[in-house]
Amino acid sequence: MVPLQVTFWLAAGAALPMLLMTFVVNQHRVFDGAATLRDRLRPGNHELALGQPVERLAADLHRLAVHLDTVERSHELHRVERLRAAALAYDDTLRSACRTLDVDVPEISPLPPFVRLQTEAALAQRGLVW
């Protein structure tokens, strides 16, 4: 008869690689969920965006759009991570501009390409140029 402790350690040793692989495959979901939770719990997070001048938002959108295009064309190491970070920063700035210009703010993160295009068009209709 195998002692209970040995059985436990054998089971844990067999399950650990599967749990680690599952985490690695789904880590983007884990970190996105953590960021969403952090943003919901952070007090006053949305009020900060309301005070940004439109000129600053337009400059930030322009800078981030150029950076996003540069990263998309590059073949650098960690390109996918850099592309994801640049897209999230661009989306966040789009949301700030929406709040400032009273445009419906998309709550999806990251923004799908069609929603991003719709948001950019709505901001352009309000006169924002970047």
Mean pLDDT by 10 residues, the chain (130 residues): 76 78 70 66 53 88 95 90 94 94 90 95 94
- The answer as to whether 24 is a domain residue is no
With a CB cutoff of 8 Å and minimum separation 6, the contacts of 103 are 97, 119, 122, 123, 126
- The answer as to whether 106 is a domain residue is yes
- The answer as to whether 42 is a domain residue is no
- The answer as to whether 58 is a domain residue is yes
Instruction: Say how far apart CA 101 and CA 97 lie, in whole Å.
Output: 6
Split into its structural domains, the chain has a count of 1
Instruction: Say how far apart CA 121 and CA 127 lie, in whole Å.
Output: 10
Are the beta carbons of 111 and 41 closer than 8 angstroms? no
Instruction: Say how far apart CA 44 and CA 116 lie, in whole Å.
Output: 25
Q: What is the pLDDT of residue 2?
A: 66
- The answer as to whether 78 is a domain residue is yes
Q: What is the pLDDT of residue 49?
A: 43
Whether the pTM exceeds 0.75: the reply is: no
Q: What is the pLDDT of residue 48?
A: 44
Q: What is the pLDDT of residue 28?
A: 66
Domain ranges, residue 82? 52-130
- The answer as to whether 25 is a domain residue is no
- The answer as to whether 103 is a domain residue is yes
Q: What is the pLDDT of residue 47?
A: 44
- The answer as to whether 110 is a domain residue is yes
Q: What is the pLDDT of residue 44?
A: 54
